[in-house]
Amino acid sequence: MRVISGKYRGKRLNSPIGNDVRPTGDKVKESIFNVIQFDVAESRFLDLFCGSGSMGIEAISRGASYTLFADVSKSSLALTQGNLKGISEAYKLVNRDFRDALYSAEGKWDFIFVDPPYKTDYIESICQIVKDRAMLAENGYIIYEHSDKQYKLPDGMYIAKRKSFGIVTVDYIAISRGKTALAGSYDPITKGHLDVLDKALEEYDEAVILLACNPDKQYLFSLEQRLEFARVAVKDYLNVTVDVCDGFVYEYCKSKGIEKVYRGYRNKEDLKYEEDMAKFNAEHGLRTQLVEGIREISSSLIREKLKNGEDIKKYLPDGVAKEVVKAYKEKL
């Protein structure tokens, strides 16, 4: 192993012997530091399961102002200490398990690198401690290297980025600026809806695509189909979920701690209707952000084109058109 870039570029690092410690590969390490490269200088970096110390030393080489190396294994810390030979920047080594290390780490941290043994399930506890102690600096990340593990984050945290390298996945977990909702029929969801979603995500870090479930309204597609269309549409959004609202939108939002919803409009008629809805929601404590959408795209346009047998691909998110056409043909 070597340091990839920075002051100590090319410095040889000793690797652990055996399979108990698995150093982060150079390809993965280089990708991680490419993501955070403009924020490493003067940062505080915590290498939580430091192993050989490779990640923390890379951060030092790239200008981190302070680095904390933690590991429950004395042999790992000895290996890290050896790899730190010749490095004079500010750092500290602690022989503690991840919980004690996190509780003893003072101040805010720009990056907390987490690479525990792949068969462990520590990440949920780590995120909860970091959140409870408000350890992340503004725009900071928990950088979690794992083997495509499924896990649940505490409320108020979200996966901002995800990179995959074969069996290795790296998640960048951050503190959310809040959650919003986009309520509608989505019969079906269109690129126009995603345009509104993208604008909502300029202000919020998380969003819910909220499908209306009104028994008095006739929909072309069933709730299950509309749900599937929406899930396909947002499959590449790590910070967007899909849910159902079978009552008033303001009731749903209140139960989820959502204070503002986004709604799109395309013309004056749309705007009048949306303003009336916004007034109703405001009377029940829910704010509405109205966004001018793409005039040429609407769910009603899609339904008309389906009826006429016309192509709809350019109006719908990737993968959705195929599902919509299939579902429509099954109705005939």
Identify the CATH class of 179-331: alpha beta
Residues 32, 33, 37, CA angle at the centre, nearest 5°? 135
- pLDDT tens track for 114-172: 999 878 889 999 999 999 999 999 999 999 999 988 999 999 999 999 999 999 999 99
- Between helix 74-83 and helix 54-61 the angle, nearest 10°, is 30
- pLDDT tens track for 225-278: 999 999 999 999 999 999 999 899 999 999 999 999 999 999 999 999 999 999
pLDDT number for residue 20: 56
pLDDT number for residue 118: 77
- End-to-end CA, the chain: 62
- pTM for this predicted structure: 0.85
For residue 59, give the 3-state DSSP assignment: helix
pLDDT number for residue 83: 98
Q: What is the CA radius of gyration of the chain?
A: 24
Q: Is the pLDDT of residue 68 over 80?
A: yes
Residue type at position 291: V
- Top pLDDT among 108 and 118 is at 108
Residues 151, 154, 158, CA angle at the centre, nearest 5°? 75
For domain 26-175, say whether CATH 3.40.50.300 is its number.
no
Tell me, yes or no, if the two domains 26-175 and 179-331 fold the same way: yes
For residue 89, give the 3-state DSSP assignment: coil
Closest by CA position to 46, among listed 76, 71, 25, 24: 71
Strand segments (E) across 186-307: 206-212, 240-245, 260-265, 287-292
Beta bridge partners of 70: 94
pLDDT number for residue 80: 97
The residues spanned by each domain of the chain are 26-175, 179-331
C-alpha 264/C-alpha 289 separation (Å) is: 8
Residue type at position 149: K
